[in-house]
Every structure is written in C-alpha cells, then in structure tokens.
Structure 1
Amino acid sequence: MAISSVRTRTVRLDLDAGSASERPDTLAVEEPLQLEVDGRELTVTMRTPGHDVELALGFLHAEGLLHDAGDVVAMRHCAGTGPDGEPTHNLLRVTARAGSRLAGERVARPFTTTSACGVCGSLSVGDVLARVPAPLHDDRVEVGPDVLAGLPAALRAAQATFERTGGLHAAGLFTADGELLCLREDVGRHNAVDKVVGWGLREGRLPLRATVLVVSGRASFELVQKAAMAGVPVLAAVSAPSSLAVSLAREAGMTLLGFVRPPRANVYAGEHRVARPAGTGVGPRPTSVLT
C-alpha cells in the first residue's frame, strides 16, 4: 500500500507587488495517526505518513510495552478520507500477542503525543535507566573523526523527501564505519527515531549494537531515551543537546555528540567511543573531536 508523504499546493509569490505570481509547491504531509491496541485507543500522534508500522513498533518499544516484534500478531491500516477529500490511512489497529505486556492493563490508559515531543510514559532518568539494556555499558565500538565528519552529509544526501519539501527531520542509523543502514524522515524528530527503531525490530536487529544514530536536529531527552532503550551506543546530533539529554546519556553509558558540523563536533558523554585525532589530548567535556 503506497502512502504519499508529500502534497502539492499552490503558493503565491508576492514579494514585489508589481510581479506577483503563483506556482505549485511540494509540502511535507502532516496528519494524525491513531493507534489502537486490541480495540482500545492508545495514542494519537501527528506524523508524516509512511513507515507507520515501524513508527508504531518503535513507539511501543520506547514506552516499554513491546519486547520484540513477536509481541504483535498483526497491524492493519484503516482507510479514510481527509478534509480535502484525499484518501488517508490514519488509523492503525494492532493485535497484541496474548500474554504480552502490550496486551496488559497498562495499555488501557491512553497517551497523548504530538509531533514536537515524544516522552509519554517515561518522565525521569530513573524510569528510562530501568529499561535500558545492560550491554550499552559493554559496547566498545569506536568511531573515528573522519567517519563522524562525513555522517551529516551522508544523512542529508539520503533525505529524499526533505530534498523535495525542505520540511522534515531525519534519523539515520549507520555502522561505525559510516555505512548507512536505515534512514527515516518525519515531521517529528521523535517519530523519525521511532521509525528507525521500528525498522530494527522488524529486522530482528535489536539491540542495535555497534551503531551510530544521527539526527538532523537537536538531541533532546526523548531521543536519547529511545536510542538507549534500543541499545544504540552512539547518538550524534547536528545541533545542541539538552541538559537532561546529557544527564541521561552519561547515566546510560551512551556516547552523545552535538554540533556535529565539520570540522567540529562536541562530545558530551562517552568519549571513550570516539577516536581522537593524532596529537590531541583529553580535555574536559564537551570536547571538540574533529579538529
């Protein structure tokens, strides 16, 4: 089933009153997705349509309701019609495996989410740490500065929908050698990460050891939460981290980088996984690692 992530609308160009004109413009779609589990509404989130099954799997995993993809028996889209008359697929019905946590009583309590924030059930560092897989502390993968320097450009080059619209966030999962494994785009930062984690669940790859997750915006608490719970040892953001994101990364044993914009990057946690350029010493965090 093909679900479009873009729409064309007419835009008026009127910067100069003497030369007003109109032309078609391609926009990223933002629509609600209602998630039902065994007939009970769990959440409604704003997202860019596409990879909705992965989005649901990643979200449920981050909330601690899903151990692996086997906890889901089936997922089914229900078609509808939007206010503009175009077809939508904004209801996803999930059938949980009997006896799984997903089928338990906690799911009877709905969550509220938006495309701007993704922390629904986990409200503290302690809550998240209780769910983080122990191997995070044992993942000794090392990423070189040359690889790190190339990741933002590799992420940007793979953002096909952003190229058409200029309006989406992206999350890309890379190997420590810089090979792109999976890239997902969405109007919400946390949705893009959920889609990547959901891909990992479908592929049977969790925990995502020896990988680097690159995000196109800032590194907020919920992104570190989702990455840590998926077993990602290294999270790199092209913009700034928040203070709580740094605290969680340090407690979880993750490596967190911000401002990854060659020729510089700052390491806020877990610098032991970042190979230093020759001739540099160890300084206080944050530490520039690309120069």
Structure 2
Amino acid sequence: MFFIYSFTADTPPNICITGPYKTWRAVIPADTHSLSPVLYCSGCEDHVSVSADQPNSQMETDEPQSFFAAFCQLLFKSVRYICIYIIEFFTGPKQSLKGNHSDNKVNLVLLGMSGTGKSASGNTILGRRQFVSRTSSVPVTTECQVEETEINGTCVCVIDTPDIFDDEIESSVKNQHVTKCKQLLQSGPCVFLLVIQVSRFTDLERDILRKLEKAFGSKAKEQTVILFTRGEDLQCADMNLEDFLQDCNSDLKNIVDQCGRRCVVFENKTSHKHQVTKLMQKVDEMLNKQQNQ
C-alpha cells in the first residue's frame, strides 16, 4: 500500500491511496475552517466522509467500516494542518511589494535632451554614483546603460540613455539607441522618465512627446512621468513645483497635461531619499491605475 499527495494552485489538494484491492482519492475542501476530506473509490461508487474535528467520530460509508477506512481517517487527521497551510499559501491573498499591481520589478527609462540631468537623476534613484555625470559642452552619455537597485522590496532597473530627441542626430544612430534600450528592458512594466530642467525649456522639446511616441509607441505618454531637475533653482526663486507648473510655458503645460500631470522634481546635488520615494509613489499610482482599467 502506498499514497501520493499532490496539489496545484487551481485545484484543492488531494491524496491518492492505493491498497491491495482499491484506489482511494481524497479531496480536501478549500474551506479551511470546515476541513473534512472526502474519499472517493476509483472504479466504484464508495465514498467516505472523514471528520477531522471529531476525534471519535465514525466514518459514514455505504458499507461497514473497514480497517483500511479507519487507517485513512487517522492519516487525514495527521495531515490536516499541513493541508490548511498549503491551501492558504496558494489561495490566500498575496501582499504585493509595490502596492496593488502584481509585479515586483519595474523598468525606469531615463529620456530627455542632452544636459537635462538624466544620468545624475539615475544616480539619485540608485542611491550611488553609477552613471557618468559631469558638466560638459558635449554629450557625456553616448550608449545605453542599465543598473539595478532595490527600493522597498521592488527590483528597479534604471536605464540611462543618450539623447534620442535631437533632430541633428542621424536617424540611424537614434534608432540604434532605441533598439538597444528596448533590449535592456527586463520583465515587468516599463515607465518612461522624461527629464526636463525647470530652468530650461527649449524649442526642441516642444514636440518631445511626438518623438517619444515615434520611438516607443503610441501609448508611451500614458507610461510617462515627467522628472524635473534642478529643483534647487525653484528653492532659490522661493517656488514649489505647483507654483512652477502654474506659471510655466504653455507648451510645457501641454506636455504636463498630456502626461496626466505626473510630475516630480529632483535636486541631484543632494541625496534626499524622499525624492525617490515620491517618484516611486507616482510610478505605483500610474501602474495601479493602468491595471484597474
């Protein structure tokens, strides 16, 4: 005689017991508060209801109680709590690491014109200096680069990119950068961080959303959070982000509105973690909203 215990996430746990004459299959109900296994005999109509809560109860059968049935009763009592644990593990609620959406990994793609602070913002998110960032009259970032960190239990893949929006850059070069960026994307949702300086908004950035959608698809702006850099300039002007958005250029206002007014501001010269916390809250809110639609 031998028995096989098996379970899946979609069906109740069951136990198969093979004896000399009959094979019994026990199905454990998913209701763990009234766990009472039922035995089904393969090839016949016999069935046994086993009470796990009444130690001295007799099993109800269509035939007189057999030694084999009594053995099964004791067996199922002994595995009752194991079954409860397994059922709750597979059917109970799972706590997401990132809020309500189910993924525990997210890709953050830094996009924007040269000199807006993409690499510096990436270092702020990572909490360490990983991307090359320095003042220069020529572009510093010339290739896509990906680095990972963990934020509140979520694996965050940060992808730094060269400028793919400058009209003076050859289309073939920009296409290579876009292709490389897509290759670096890992499993999990993708969020575009459109990096813009609060103190500089150029004519080349007026149609940046059109260029974004051309590179990453028509729904790219629905996955975009605007990351304003040089937040210290706002402090010097005694302004907050809302003051800035109210008084900013009309074209910039239009970009902000098209992106659902999902905006954060970074001061990359400081290492205040609350900046990253606010960014991840925006990312979570956006992903949760998309999942619920």
Question: Shorter-chain-normalised TM-score: which range?
Answer: under 0.3
| Structure with the bigger percentage of helix | 2
Based on CA coordinates, which of the two structures has the bigger radius of gyration?
A: 2
| Structure with the bigger percentage of strand | 1
> Which structure carries more relative contact order (alpha carbon 8 Å, separation 6+)?
1
- TM-score under structure 2 length normalisation: 0.27
